[in-house]
Amino acid sequence: MSPESQEFLATFVSESYYYWASVFMILIHVGFLAYEGGASRAKNVLATMVKNLLTLSVVGLTFFFFGWWVYNAFPLFPFTGGVVGPWTDPASEGIVGEVLGLVQASYPWSSAMGPNVADNLTGVFWFAFALFSMTTASILSGAVIERIKVGAYAILAVILGSFTWVVAAAWGWSPYGWFLTNFGYHDFGCSAVLHGVSGFFALGVLINLGPRIGKFDADGKPNTIMPHNLPLTMVGLMLIFVGFYAFLAACVIFVPGQTVEITIYGTPMTLASVGVNTTLALTSGIVGSYISSKADPFFTISGGLAGIISVGAGLDLYSPPMIILIAFIGAYTMPFVGKAIEKAGIDDAVGAFAVHGYCGLLGAMTVGIMASGYPQGDGIPVTGFVGQLVGTFACTVILGFIPGYGVSFVLKKLGMLRVSPEEEIAGLDIADFGLEGYPEYPILPEKNGHASASVVSVPKATPQM
């Protein structure tokens, strides 16, 4: 084999690896579609699934328009430099010069984004990141089902999926990000960078959105709104698990010229450990939430995801027994967080905050204790509690909760956030499409939130905290 062929083979391996990992990541969205559709009531199933489907479009397109540029342009801002863009001096050297090269390849008009035999990798990295972004927005999608306006969701999905989480990734999941360079932050599987941001963003939105009609009675006591198809929800989560293997595999960095697999932080790792640790986290998480929720099917299967997210940040570093313990703790405590949120008067239809927000925060902070002291580069602090705390706070509060609360507050004041009570009671399928998800089957009104509407009070948007 000629040296040119060998060089091309290395490129092709990288290109293929990220391509197929990204294709399998689409299973996350198949899973979310089924999960949310099953979790809704029969009168809202179409609206829920269509809303979820639109996530692919609104985030996919906006990530192409500006999201990819944000990822490459923001790592230095605001502590080690400014936002890099067309205004940056093309003759810049050093770290700004390196970042500028990536930024120039990330503009939507860049030649690297189209068919280009001189660049096989920029497009495939865009593909992987676009799917990360869609995943982030889909997490919000589940929390707000059955009462949000599609337009409001689309606006929030763009802000979360193509901007705030992307800034978090630029700061905390980039070799140039100031979380790493200034504080030694480590978050291999994006526990806080992705899940923490989206979970807390969802919490901020839920406070302004308010609960579904009938979720709380006049005394504020929560009522259970059962999913119309729990088996579909469970199948959906299984598909999400499959997609998560691909997601975590795509977090491994292998490009031509490397002699070992590395993380985005430049530290060595192996793909095999992703396989072992993800499987152990999944299985241990299911066990943890099975015990703590007393075999509740919804929490039990969510426990698998909670386990993976709880260990995600240190998945490349933890020993297998540590993975089992950390995933167990995360998943065991997750149902209590979900119930506490409900007691606070917040209607999180799929437990998005408990699974993604809480476990994301826990996962990122656990690295500061259980994987402390790992070196990550010359002049970069070793992994530790303070570094994790800074990064996790920025992700969950600054890039998660505050934007979610702020934007949804503005939408609420403009009357653009929530559907009318009449539409909500009639069901969004009828209100939005004039169709029913199951036209051939009679739907019992009292089981589907119709009859109770006459006796329940329409909830106020602000929950009882």
Q: Which stretch binds another protein (CB under 8 A): 44-52, 165-173, 289-297, 392-400?
A: 289-297
Please give the span between the terminal C-alpha atoms of the chain, in angstroms, as a whole number: 68
- Number of chain positions touching another protein (CB under 8 A): 34
| Of residues 40 and 278, the one with the C-beta less far from another protein | 278
Is residue 182 within the footprint of another protein (CB under 8 A)? no
| Binding positions for another protein, 325-344, rule CB under 8 A | 325, 328
| Closest distance to another protein from the beta carbon of 218 (Å) | 19
- Per CB under 8 A, the list member of 99, 274, 359, 371 interacting with another protein is 371
Provide CB contacts within 8 A for 365, sequence distance 6+. 385, 388, 389, 392
Q: Which stretch binds another protein (CB under 8 A): 30-38, 122-130, 161-169, 310-318?
A: 310-318
Provide CB contacts within 8 A for 437, sequence distance 6+. 42, 43, 45, 46, 429
| Binding positions for another protein, 214-273, rule CB under 8 A | 260, 267-269, 273
| Of residues 115 and 379, the one with the C-beta less far from another protein | 379
| Binding positions for another protein, 414-433, rule CB under 8 A | none
Q: Which stretch binds another protein (CB under 8 A): 248-256, 318-326, 339-347, 456-464?
A: 318-326
- Per CB under 8 A, the list member of 57, 111, 223, 319 interacting with another protein is 319
Is residue 387 within the footprint of another protein (CB under 8 A)? no
Is residue 324 within the footprint of another protein (CB under 8 A)? yes
d(CA 269, CA 280): 17
| Closest distance to another protein from the beta carbon of 65 (Å) | 38
Is residue 375 within the footprint of another protein (CB under 8 A)? yes
Is residue 382 within the footprint of another protein (CB under 8 A)? yes
What burial class does residue 89 get, using C-beta atoms within 10 Å of its C-beta: 0-12 exposed, 13-18 middle, 19+ buried? exposed
| Closest distance to another protein from the beta carbon of 35 (Å) | 23
- Per CB under 8 A, the list member of 172, 314, 363, 449 interacting with another protein is 314
Amino acid identity for residue 45 in this structure: V
Helix count and strand count (H, E) for the chain: 19, 0
Token pair for residue 42? 């029969």
236: how many CB neighbours lie within 10 A of its CB? Answer: 24
Q: Which of left, alpha, beta for 33 (phi over 0: left; psi -120 to 50: alpha)?
A: alpha
- Per CB under 8 A, the list member of 291, 431, 443, 453 interacting with another protein is 291
| Closest distance to another protein from the beta carbon of 383 (Å) | 7
Is residue 306 within the footprint of another protein (CB under 8 A)? no
Question: CA of 400: how far to CAs of 165, 200, 415, in Å?
Answer: 8, 5, 22
Helices (H), 210-270: 230-249
Provide CB contacts within 8 A for 67, sequence distance 6+. 59, 129, 130, 133, 161, 162, 163, 166
Is residue 376 within the footprint of another protein (CB under 8 A)? yes
- Per CB under 8 A, the list member of 69, 244, 290, 358 interacting with another protein is 290
| Of residues 52 and 289, the one with the C-beta less far from another protein | 289
Is residue 374 within the footprint of another protein (CB under 8 A)? yes
Cis omega (within 30 of 0) for bond into 78: yes
> Is the CB of residue 465 less than 8 Å from the CB of residue 82?
no
Q: Which stretch binds another protein (CB under 8 A): 81-89, 113-121, 151-159, 371-379?
A: 371-379
Is residue 294 within the footprint of another protein (CB under 8 A)? yes
> Is the CB of residue 253 less than 8 Å from the CB of residue 262?
yes
- Per CB under 8 A, the list member of 28, 42, 207, 287 interacting with another protein is 287
Q: Which of left, alpha, beta for 117 (phi over 0: left; psi -120 to 50: alpha)?
A: alpha
Please choose, from the candidates 249, 237, 65, 51, the residue with its C-alpha nearest in 3D space to the C-alpha of residue 157: 51
What burial class does residue 193 get, using C-beta atoms within 10 Å of its C-beta: 0-12 exposed, 13-18 middle, 19+ buried? buried
| Of residues 260 and 386, the one with the C-beta less far from another protein | 260
Binding positions for another protein, rule: CB under 8 A: 260, 267-269, 273, 284, 287-288, 290-291, 294-295, 314, 317-322, 324-325, 328, 369-378, 382-383
